[in-house]
A and B are shown apart, each in its own frame.
Chain A
Amino acid sequence: MSTTAPAEAPVRTPPLTRRRAHRPATRRPLTGLLFVAPTAVVVAGLFLAPLGILVYMSFTDWPLLGSPTPNGLDNYRQLGDDDQFTGAITFTLLYTAITTVVLFAVAFVLVAISNSPRRGARFYRTAYFLPYVVGTAAASSMWWVDSHDELGVFNRLLQAVGLIDRPIGLLATPGKALGTVIALVVWKFIGFQVIVLLVGLQSIPGEYYEAAMVDGASVWQRLRYVTFPGLKPTLALLTVLSVTGSLLAFDQFFVLTHGGPDNSTVTVVLALYNKAFQSYRLGNAAAEAVVLLVALIILNVVQLRLLRSRDREE
């Protein structure tokens, strides 16, 4: 049994605790401060301070070695002319859109399997989830070998089932490289999506289904009018996580394609890394980071608003 009471977590108990919080809590604020002191130190030193440094860096010419000099808005002006960065934005948006759609499509099939009351469903669920706990760098290294024309097993498998005659270079063209990375990402991350969807499914009261059956609703009508509305918050949350995660993709591209062929698969974070540690222009990299940061904060705020307004409707 899950002892942390998952169902309780989202609900929490603020009214209860607040009513009870009158005694020791209010009288000894100093003790409370002592308990949260480590948190405060870490948050201030490793989160707020770097955030400040980041913004400062974005307004300076900052070489890897040597002293930085302020240069106003130059870094931001150069962003627009930087083909690798603008190309990276386009590519990352494309990758994010495709990945999010494919992840959901595959997840629905796997959730249908995993949610079955049949024996074996639990084993299948575990099988789909295991790749998720393997690190992205390890998983990508594995897939890099498997995708290799001569050394890899993927081409051999495709040949064995007769889909192809000879190795096709799974990373050789921009399109195929993107396809291979998306296959890797689906394999690696789908388990998370499936688990969260299963949890969402189980939060829908069984009585709703019974009522729908009594009213003679078909399988599709039950899906449309009971399952889908009940899953809406979960779907919205997974969209947020999938979009944010994909916009920040790095490991799988760094290992599997290294941005190639011909810089066709450079993501925003990979461009940022190259700018800092290959071109040694930390100021420009910082400006890129600020742009990415602001974009994601706006996205998060918009998505949270949408989530909240949906909650209110229900």
Chain B
Amino acid sequence: MSSSTLAPRRTVRRHGGPLQRATRTAAYHVFSAAVAIAFLFPLVWAALNSVKDRDEANRQPPTWFPHSFSLENYRNLQSFDQGIGVYLRNSIVVSALTVVGSVVVCVLGGYGFARFRFPGKNALFGTTLAILMVPYATILLPLYILLSKIGMLNTLIGLALVLVMFQLPFGIFMMRNSFESVPRELEEAALVDGCTDFGAMWRISARIVAPGVVTVALFSFLIAWNEFLAPLFILNDGRKYTLPVMLVNIRYASFNILDVGALQAGVVVAMVPCLVVYLALQRFYVSGLVAGALRG
């Protein structure tokens, strides 16, 4: 978390002598570190298991530290059903489509809501926010029917469209607020100089609200990459499955071919991009949580 957003700003006055203070600090670190280790343990454990060789990864009971180092589990993923490459590609395509789709729709829409008046403005904005009120699990069923009627069932584009729709309340809200905080005068200067409306938005305001755009993109990516229920409804062809669906299929593979090493290698493939993206962009994540979470 970015230290500037969340750093405690109150100075704590401590009582007692230096010895007491040292004891308290030590107790604090022992307890907090133990909890931190407990939180990180499952992630590290999966990573450790994924680099054991196949036999060791499936040993009962498990070995504490890898006796072997091998990429066998990752290689085995290549031969699971369609192969990890296909699922990885599908996940990347769905995430890319969702990120681009949500950013385009939310930047345009957020700008429209922030800068213009038009008939039906409040109704449309209200309906967009109402998506939050409707649990998405309940409309996946009719979405399944609808997509099948228009021939987009079982397509990555269809899935991405659904995910974009789920992103709209947060994204539109976020971008509208971002654009509202940009002084209109900046754009008017551009308009006077002969820019079109779109040009004024693109050349002036969109540059200033870039952090908001990154936040929307980041949230869209994490949702699209991790979503499980929507692909489960919308994709029914093994060649179209995304990584989370693949993982669950490995878990439900019949018991004699269940390969726990491959499963954990798959878990690592699925989680590493999220961890990397989050650690790189965490300040945008926190500001997005704040803007989104405090909307109530």
Chain A positions near chain B (C-beta within 8 angstroms): 1-6, 8-10, 12-13, 17, 20-21, 23-26, 28-40, 42-43, 46-54, 57, 109-110, 113, 115-118, 120-131, 133-139, 141-146, 148, 150-153, 155-156, 187, 192, 195-196, 198-199, 202, 206, 209, 213, 233, 236-237, 240-241, 244, 247-248, 250-251, 254-255, 269, 272-273, 276-277, 282, 285-286, 289-290, 292-293, 296-297, 300, 304, 307
Given A141-B248, A289-B141; A2-B165 close (CB under 8 Å): no
Please determine whether A150 and B8 come into contact, CB atoms closer than 8 angstroms: no
23 contacts between A and B (CB under 8 A): A6-B287, A12-B177, A21-B117, A31-B197, A32-B121, A33-B116, A39-B128, A42-B161, A43-B168, A46-B165, A52-B142, A53-B142, A53-B146, A127-B39, A134-B43, A137-B245, A141-B251, A146-B45, A151-B60, A187-B42, A292-B137, A292-B138, A296-B135
Given A2-B286, A8-B181, A146-B42; A127-B36 close (CB under 8 Å): yes
Please determine whether B291 and A6 come into contact, CB atoms closer than 8 angstroms: yes
> Which positions 105-125 of chain B face chain A at CB distance < 8 Å?
105-106, 108-109, 111-119, 121, 124
Please, which residues of chain A bring their CB within 8 A of the CB of B13?
213
Given A51-B142, A135-B270, A196-B293; A126-B42 close (CB under 8 Å): no
CB distance from A118 to the nearest CB of B (A): 6
Closest residue of chain A to B13 (Cβ to Cβ) is A213
Please, which residues of chain B bring their CB within 8 A of the CB of A124?
32-33, 35-36
Please determine whether A122 and B215 come into contact, CB atoms closer than 8 angstroms: no
Please determine whether B296 and A251 come into contact, CB atoms closer than 8 angstroms: no
Beyond known contacts A9-B177, A23-B188, A37-B108: 17 more, CB 8 A cutoff:
A4-B291, A9-B294, A17-B114, A29-B117, A32-B118, A36-B121, A36-B124, A39-B105, A42-B105, A46-B162, A49-B142, A118-B25, A121-B8, A137-B245, A138-B247, A247-B135, A289-B137
Expressed in whole angstroms, the Cα–Cα distance for A17 and B164 within the complex equals 28
Please, which residues of chain A bring their CB within 8 A of the CB of B49?
145
Is B3 engaged at the interface, CB distance under 8 Å to the other chain? yes
Is B71 engaged at the interface, CB distance under 8 Å to the other chain? no
Chain B positions near chain A (C-beta within 8 angstroms): 1-13, 25, 28-29, 31-33, 35-36, 39-40, 42-43, 45-46, 49, 58, 60-62, 64, 104-106, 108-109, 111-119, 121, 124, 127-128, 131, 133-135, 137-139, 141-143, 145-146, 161-162, 164-165, 168, 172, 174, 177-178, 180-181, 184, 188, 191, 197, 201, 211-212, 215, 222, 225-229, 232-233, 243-245, 247-248, 250-251, 260, 263-264, 266-267, 270-271, 274-275, 277-279, 282-284, 286-291, 293-296
Q: Classify the interface of chain A: helix, strand, loop or mixed.
A: helix
Chain B CB within 10 Å, residue with most, of A47, A128, A196, A241: A47
Expressed in whole angstroms, the Cα–Cα distance for A35 and B110 within the complex equals 8
Please determine whether B181 and A128 come into contact, CB atoms closer than 8 angstroms: no
Closest residue of chain B to A251 (Cβ to Cβ) is B228
Expressed in whole angstroms, the Cα–Cα distance for A233 and B295 within the complex equals 11
Please determine whether B138 and A54 come into contact, CB atoms closer than 8 angstroms: yes
Please, which residues of chain B bring their CB within 8 A of the CB of A34?
112
Please, which residues of chain A bring their CB within 8 A of the CB of B11?
117
Contact of B5 among A2, A36, A282 (CB under 8 A): A2
Please determine whether A32 and B116 come into contact, CB atoms closer than 8 angstroms: yes
Expressed in whole angstroms, the Cα–Cα distance for A248 and B28 within the complex equals 36
Please determine whether A35 and B2 come into contact, CB atoms closer than 8 angstroms: no
Please, which residues of chain B bring their CB within 8 A of the CB of A251?
228-229
Q: Classify the interface of chain B: helix, strand, loop or mixed.
A: helix
The 3 closest A-B pairs by CB, nearest first: A32-B116, A135-B226, A35-B112
Expressed in whole angstroms, the Cα–Cα distance for A232 and B86 within the complex equals 48
Given A42-B161, A133-B278; A115-B8 close (CB under 8 Å): yes
CB distance from A250 to the nearest CB of B (A): 5
Closest residue of chain A to B187 (Cβ to Cβ) is A24
Please, which residues of chain A bring their CB within 8 A of the CB of B164?
42, 46
Please determine whether B197 and A296 come into contact, CB atoms closer than 8 angstroms: no
Please determine whether A113 and B141 come into contact, CB atoms closer than 8 angstroms: no
Contact of A38 among B28, B108, B197 (CB under 8 A): B108
Please determine whether B290 and A35 come into contact, CB atoms closer than 8 angstroms: no
CB distance from B121 to the nearest CB of A (A): 7
CB distance from B46 to the nearest CB of A (A): 5
Contact of A42 among B39, B165, B225 (CB under 8 A): B165
Given A143-B42, A297-B133; A138-B36 close (CB under 8 Å): no
Contact of B145 among A25, A57, A292 (CB under 8 A): A57
Please, which residues of chain B bring their CB within 8 A of the CB of A285?
141
Given A35-B111, A195-B289; A141-B266 close (CB under 8 Å): yes
Closest residue of chain A to B288 (Cβ to Cβ) is A4
Please, which residues of chain B bring their CB within 8 A of the CB of A109?
35
Given A130-B43, A198-B6; A43-B165 close (CB under 8 Å): yes
Given A25-B116, A251-B228; A130-B39 close (CB under 8 Å): yes
Please determine whether A43 and B124 come into contact, CB atoms closer than 8 angstroms: yes
Closest residue of chain A to B208 (Cβ to Cβ) is A3
Please determine whether B244 and A137 come into contact, CB atoms closer than 8 angstroms: yes
Please, which residues of chain A bring their CB within 8 A of the CB of B117?
21, 25-26, 29, 32
Please determine whether B188 and A118 come into contact, CB atoms closer than 8 angstroms: no
Please, which residues of chain B bring their CB within 8 A of the CB of A8?
177, 181
Please determine whether B264 and A142 come into contact, CB atoms closer than 8 angstroms: yes
Expressed in whole angstroms, the Cα–Cα distance for A229 and B153 within the complex equals 49
Please determine whether A254 and B39 come into contact, CB atoms closer than 8 angstroms: no
Expressed in whole angstroms, the Cα–Cα distance for A144 and B169 within the complex equals 33
Closest residue of chain A to B5 (Cβ to Cβ) is A2
Expressed in whole angstroms, the Cα–Cα distance for A189 and B52 within the complex equals 29
